[in-house]
Each structure stands twice: as structure tokens, then as C-alpha cells.
């Protein structure tokens, strides 16, 4: 059945994929197909390189990130979502559960670790500025996902993000103000 599902995916035959999924659900082994479907998506197959331009001095009033690799990454996720995940009801009979699992994997296995890599080793200003923009862009992605499925809770994701980044943000903010005071006095 897994081969039938894979063939259906290769030929974009959702009826074939759904038949394999239904047969395996009778055997209570349909999670294997869902995992296969998820990890066959291009966004799960590669590690995304994150970087910031090397900056020594920043004009806070005029600073704008020219190349935001994290935003590019989120755009790839949205594109992948549009290509692979908009019509899961045609494949999975319990598609809301499938969306829930997929969304958890996208956020906890992809977005959060990639954001951590994106922010790693940044100077305080860049960290704070990038984190603020990342939250805005994650919110835009989340609003899109909420338009596709009811199995997504953006508020829950933001609670997780705030838990992970609050203490570090406070430390970076403190460092940033120390840098400012050093330059002023």
C-alpha cells in the first residue's frame, strides 16, 4: 500500500493516494503514509542556510535587512503549503488530524529551529530587529494557514515562541542599551 501511495504521489493521483490511505487505516497503519507524505515534501528535505550581512555600525533610523534569509524560508514554506497541503481532504479522510500533525511538524521541526539558527550569533540590535520581523512574518504565514484549516492555532505558536525567546530578548536588549550608553558617554 505504501508503494501505491508513493505512485499516486508521483503521478499526482489523489484518488490513488486516498485509496492506499483508507486501506492502511483499516489496518491502523495510516500514520506511516502521513509521515511519508510529510517528509517527501521538499521543505523537509533540506537544511536552510541562515545568514545576516556583516555589519559593524548601524544607523537605527535607516536600517533595513537587505537579504532576509528567514523571510525567504517562510515564503518557501507558504509556497509548499499552497502546492502540497491545500486540498488534503482529497487524500486523508481525517484531514483535520493530518493538518494538525503537519502544522506541528512545520512549526516545531522547521520554523522554530530555523529561526534559532537565523538569530544565532547576531549582535543585539540585529537580534531584536530580526526577531520582531520574524514574528510579523510568522504571523502572516499563520493567518494564511488558518485560512486553509481550522486545525491550526496561531496563538499557541506565539506562546511557544515567546517562551523560547523572551529571556534571550531581554538579555539582548540589555546588551544593546549598554552599547548605546558606551557610545554616548
pLDDT per residue as tens digits for the range 42-91:
888 888 888 876 666 555 555 565 568 899 999 999 999 898 888 888 88
DSSP reduced 3-state for 37: helix
N-term to C-term CA, the chain: 71
pLDDT for the residue numbered 145: 92
**pLDDT in the model for residue 87:** 82
- How much of the chain, in percent, has pLDDT values that exceed 70? 88
User: Is 16 among the domain residues?
Assistant: no
Give the range with max mean pLDDT: 44-58, 103-117, 119-133, 144-158: 103-117
**Dihedrals φ, ψ of 59, to 5°?**
-90, 105
Q: Quick one: DSSP state of residue 127?
A: H
Structural domain contains residue 173: yes
pLDDT value of position 184: 82
Number of folded domains that form the chain: 1
Helix residue spans in 27-111 (DSSP H): 30-39, 69-84, 95-104
| Residues 36-56 as b or e (16 or more Cβ within 10 Å = b) | ebbeebebeeeebebebeeee
Spatial contact of 165 and 131, defined as CB atoms under 8 Å apart:
yes
Q: Is the pTM of this model over 0.85?
A: no
- Any idea what the Cα angle at residue 71 is, between residues 126 and 107, rounded to 5°? 105
Least Cα distance to 122 among 166, 185, 171, 61 occurs for: 171
Domain assignment present for 17: no
Residue 50's Cα: distance from chain center in Å? 13
More confident residue, 111 or 152: 111
Q: Residue 142 has what pLDDT?
A: 94
Range of the structural domain that residue 174 is part of: 41-184
What pLDDT does 93 receive? 80
4 belongs to a structural domain: no
Diameter of the chain measured on Cα atoms: 72
- Say if 107 falls within a structural domain: yes
Amino acid at each position: 500500500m505504501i508503494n501505491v501511495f508513493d505512485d499516486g504521489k508521483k503521478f499526482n493521483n489523489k484518488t490513488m493516494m486516498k485509496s492506499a490511505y483508507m486501506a492502511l487505516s483499516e489496518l491502523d497503519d495510516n500514520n506511516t503514509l502521513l509521515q511519508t507524505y510529510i517528509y517527501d515534501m521538499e521543505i523537509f528535505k533540506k537544511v536552510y542556510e541562515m545568514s545576516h550581512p556583516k555589519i559593524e555600525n548601524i544607523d537605527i533610523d535607516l536600517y533595513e535587512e537587505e537579504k532576509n534569509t528567514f523571510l525567504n524560508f517562510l515564503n518557501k514554506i507558504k509556497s509548499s503549503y499552497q502546492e502540497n497541503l491545500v486540498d488534503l481532504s482529497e487524500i486523508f479522510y481525517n484531514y483535520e488530524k493530518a493538518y494538525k500533525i503537519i502544522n506541528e511538524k512545520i512549526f516545531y521541526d522547521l520554523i522554530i529551529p530555523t529561526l534559532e539558527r537565523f538569530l544565532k550569533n547576531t549582535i543585539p540590535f540585529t537580534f531584536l530587529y530580526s526577531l520582531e520581523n520574524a514574528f510579523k512574518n510568522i504571523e502572516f504565514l499563520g493567518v494564511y494557514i488558518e485560512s486553509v484549516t481550522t486545525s491550526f492555532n496561531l496563538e499557541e505558536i506565539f506562546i511557544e515562541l515567546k517562551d523560547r525567546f523572551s529571556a534571550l530578548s531581554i538579555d539582548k536588549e540589555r546588551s544593546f542599551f549598554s552599547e548605546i550608553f558606551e557610545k554616548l558617554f
